[in-house]
Amino acid sequence: MANRRIAVTGLGIVSPLGIGKQDFWKNLLSGVSGIRDITLFRAPSYQIQRGGEIKNFIPEKSDEFGRAAQFAITATKEALREAGIQASDLKRIRAGVIFGTTNGESHILEEIDRIWLESGETEVWAKTIIKYSMDSIANNVARHLGISGISRMIPTACSAGNYSIGHGYDLIRNNKIDVAIVGGADPLTRYAFAGFGRLFAMAPEKCQPFDKNRKGMMIGEGAGVLVLEELESAKKRGADIYCEIVGYGLSCDAYHMTAPSMEGITGVMETAIKNCGIEKSDVSYISAHGTGTPANDKAECQAINRVFGVLTKNIPISSIKSMLGHTMGAASAIEAASCCMAIKGNRVPPTINFDTPDPECDIDCVPNIAKDKILNTVLNNSFAFGGNNACVVMRRYEPN
């Protein structure tokens, strides 16, 4: 059964550029920035006070779930509607929920600490503590939708969304489940602001991937969800198919806790290409990890040039983090959803805030304006601290 083909039949997005796929995609192609002043918490003590905060989000059962789970549930419900799968269907098919994250519900821990310090240990409710555990995101999605099958969390930080897609792909190919709800979710937290601030990795105003004068990343929040299912099953029920997932590559280069490795990035793309049995000349777009930090962008561009050589000049390579900020564990899941829409619509989203070319980032970063291009095979890059790298390969679906 390992030769089963895997289709993407539904997408769901909660992001700083819009709640729902339609608004997200419209704003993405228009080059709208989702970076704004932070209002979720008081930020005067932080050197950076801007980020990709989601506004006007109305959660379901807000007292029962943490913010990341709320994002994940909303995105999952949209993805299932898109896929044409009802809640009742999930009770009779083998469905699994696999999510990735960086911080989990760490804002809950922040709230626990606040209550403990202000009012004492006895004022911390058990119900609050239960919301904190890392696996609560996937478990709450499954519980909310009545899914009793596989529920797993993959905490591989900034590449976790791609890891979840790869794991869902494997589970379906090996006939363990029929439908995989995969993605990533992360909330905006003081913890992330403090951590990345002390690493001096954040830009003060805007994210400028691949620009010579880039100053760093911006932190964001959100959730991205894809519904994966076996292709023949999707065709039989008349599902609208975005594209196929044709495989992925993983690597753990173990080079440095925070610094990127050009060799590791090269390796994960080479592995993905080999695993999927595609030619390098097949690749028509790369969704870059593109954080906007000097080291990451340089290493990624060098790796792409090493892998693709002279082909690089004909491959558009954009970073949507320029608009969203870095949504942590949700990043590569949201970017994968963007890739699906790019393939379906033959549109490449831009890298905004690009002013000055950098000789060390010698690529077509689709500066500032979206590009029309027929896309057949797409790579979605993601790289995390510790060298946990993942590259997912997507391909246009051509009906027989």
d(CA 237, CA 223): 27
CA 43 – CA 186 distance, rounded (Å): 19
The bridge status of strand 18-19 relative to strand 388-395 is unpaired
Q: Indicate if 246-395 has the same CATH topology as 7-236.
A: yes
DSSP code string of 11-33: EEEEETTEESHHHHHHHHHHT--
Pair 196, 24: CB distance under 8 Å? no
CATH ID of 246-395, from 3.40.640.10, 3.40.47.10, 1.20.120.1200, 2.60.40.10: 3.40.47.10
End-to-end Cα separation, the chain, in angstroms: 20
b/e string for 368-399 if b means 16 or more Cβ within 10 A?
eebbebebbbbbbbbbbbbbbbbbbbbbbbee
Of 107, 144, 167, 289, the active-site residue reads 289
The length of the chain is 400
Distance CA 30, CA 7 (A): 28
pLDDT at position 191, please? 75
pLDDT of residue 106: 61
pLDDT for residue 210: 98
**Annotation marks residue 107 as catalytic:** no
pLDDT at position 110: 58
pLDDT at 252: 86
pLDDT score, position 134: 60
Residue 132 in tokens = 């904190």
**pLDDT at residue number 195:** 75
Model pTM score: 0.93
Q: Within 10 Å of residue 287's Cβ, how many Cβ atoms?
A: 27
Q: So where are the chain's domains?
A: 7-236, 246-395
Specify the DSSP class assigned to residue 329. G
How far apart CA 100 and CA 333 sit, in angstroms, is: 8
Digit-coded pLDDT (tens) for 295-308? 999 999 999 999 99
Distances (CA, A) of 303 to 243, 250, 355: 26, 15, 23
Q: Active-site residue among 107, 326, 361, 391?
A: 326
**Architecture field, domain 7-236:** 3-Layer(aba) Sandwich (3.40)
Catalytic residue among 107, 144, 158, 391: 158
pLDDT on residue 108: 57
Cβ atoms within 10 A of the Cβ of 114, count? 12
Residue 198: other Cβ atoms inside 10 A:
10
Stretches where the chain sits below pLDDT 70 are: 1-2, 42-45, 61-64, 104-135, 257
pLDDT of residue 115: 56
Residue 185 makes CB contacts below 8 A (sequence gap 6+) with: 68, 69, 71, 72, 75, 99, 100, 101, 137, 222, 223, 224, 329, 330, 333
Buried b (16+ CB within 10 A) or exposed e, 149-169: bbbbbbbbbbbbbbbbbbbbb
User: Within 13 Å and on the Cβ side, how many CA atoms surround 89?
Assistant: 11
Q: Give the pLDDT score at 23.
A: 97
Instruction: For strands 95-100 and 151-154, give the pairing.
Output: parallel
